[in-house]
Amino acid sequence: MIEEIIQIVVLLIIIVTAIMAVSFKDLLAAVISLAATSLLLSLEFYILQAPDVAIAEAGIGAALTTAIFILAIKGTVREEEI
């Protein structure tokens, strides 16, 4: 019973952070919301007893794609500074 409640809470926070990632105007905040989505998804994989997939998701999804997105954002200019 307690596992189901934890899973429902984690999935709800995943949905909230995914909506935040879409709706943020600031690109850096959106990328950090996407990283939070990935991290909570890896927690969900761990709860579902797939630690192998959880390590891969935390390494690729939460760390590497965030790094690549931040590098891409560093190549852009803010709209206010044009």
Partner 1 sequence: MMSKIVRTITNILYSSILIFGFYVIMHGHLTPGGGFQGGAVVASGIALVLIAYGYDTIKNWIKKSNLSILESIGAVSFIGVAFLGIGTTFFYNFLANSGSLFGNPTVIGINPGDLNTAGALPLMSWAVGLKVLAGLGSIVLLMAYGIKKGDGE
Where does this chain bind partner 1 (CB under 8 A)? 51-52, 54-56, 59-60, 63-64, 67-68, 70-72, 74-75
Q: C-beta of 17: minimal distance to partner 1 in Å? A: 20
Shortest distance, CB of residue 51 to partner 1, whole angstroms? 4
Cβ proximity to partner 1: between 12 and 72 the closer is 72
Q: C-alpha angle 20/27/69, rounded to 5°?
A: 105
Phi/psi region, residue 58 (left: phi>0; alpha: psi -120 to 50; beta: rest), is: alpha
Residue with tokens 């998701």: 57
Q: Which residue lies nearer to partner 1 by CB, 6 or 56?
A: 56
Alpha-carbon distance of 10 to 37, in angstroms, equals 10
Toward partner 1, which CB reaches closer, 47 or 60? 60
